[in-house]
Amino acid sequence: MQEISDKTLTDAGLPLAARTGKVLLIACGALAREIIDLRAANGWTHLELTCLPAKLHLYPEKITAEVERMVAKHRADFEQIFVVYADCGTGGLLQQACARMGVDMIAGPHCYSFFEGNVAFAARADTEITTFYLTDFLVRQFDAFVIRPMGLDRHPELRDMYFGNYEKLVYQAQTDDPDLTEKARACAQRLGLAFERRFTGYGDLSTALSRL
C-alpha cells in the first residue's frame, strides 16, 4: 500500500489534526487540573485542552459567547470539539448554542452535579436545598471565588445575608488530600455552616471524556 504523506492529505483539504483523530476540549478553567489528571492517568493523548477563565462563572451571561468564539476559532483544526461546561447558569443558552454549532457538551446543570453524578445529585436535590458546595478547585481558590467576590473580606457582616438560609457545606472531594479536607473544614467554619466531606472522584466527567 502506498504511504500517504501529511502534505498529500493537507493538500486534499484534510487538516492534520482532524486526520489524526484529535479532539479539542473547550473547558472551564476550574476543571483544568481534573481534566489534565484524567488525560494523564488514562493515556488520552488524542485529547487537547484549551480553557476559558474560571472567573467566567461570576458572569454566566458571558459563557455562551465565549464558547462560541472558541469553537469558531478552532473548528477547522480538530476532528471533534467537546465543550466541558455544564449549563452553569446560562439558562439553556449554552446547550442551544452547542446544538446549533453541532458540538457536544457535558450533561448537567453544573459541575457539582456531574462530579457527584447527575443521577445521584438529582436524587439528593430535594433534601439539600440548604447546602453550599465546594470542589477541590473552589477549596483551593476559596478567597478568590467566594470571599472576595461577595465582599466578605471587607464586610463580614454580609455573611448572614448570603448564607443565613444555608445549613451545611458539602466538600465534594475529587482527590484524597487531607490538607484540602482541613482547608474545606475551615471554609465551613468561616461561613458558620456544618461540614460534610463527600468523596466523588471525577464522576460523570470521567465517563464523558472516556467516550471521546
Residue whose C-alpha cell is 476559596: 142
List all residues 6 or more positions away from 143 whose beta carbon is below 8 Å from its beta carbon: 153
The SS3 call for residue 211 is coil
State residue 173 phi and psi, 5-degree precision: -85, 120
> Which residue is listed with cell 436545598?
129
Task: Say how far apart CA 47 and CA 209 lie, in whole Å.
Answer: 9
So what's the pLDDT on residue 210?
A: 97
pLDDT, tens digit, for every residue of 168-178? Answer: 999 999 999 99
Which residues, in sequence order, are bridge partners of residue 24? 48, 81
Which candidate, 53, 56, 51, 62, places its Cα nearest to that of 25? 51
β-bridge pairing 168-173 and 131-134: parallel
Instruction: For residue 146, give the DSSP letter.
Output: I
User: pTM for the whole thing?
Assistant: 0.88
Q: Which residues of the chain have pLDDT under 50?
A: 1-15, 17-19
**If you ran DSSP here, which 8-state letter would residue 123 be given?**
H
Cell for 83?
Answer: 465543550
Task: Please report the pLDDT score of residue 9 as a whole number.
Answer: 33
**Dihedral (C-alpha) 163, 63, 94, 135: value to the nearest 10 degrees?**
-40
Cβ burial of 179 (10 Å; 0-12, 13-18, 19+) is exposed
pLDDT at 21: 85
Q: Any idea where the domains of the chain sit in the sequence?
A: 6-106, 124-199
- CATH match of 6-106 with 3.40.720: no
Report the distance separating Cα 93 and Cα 65, nearest Å. Answer: 10
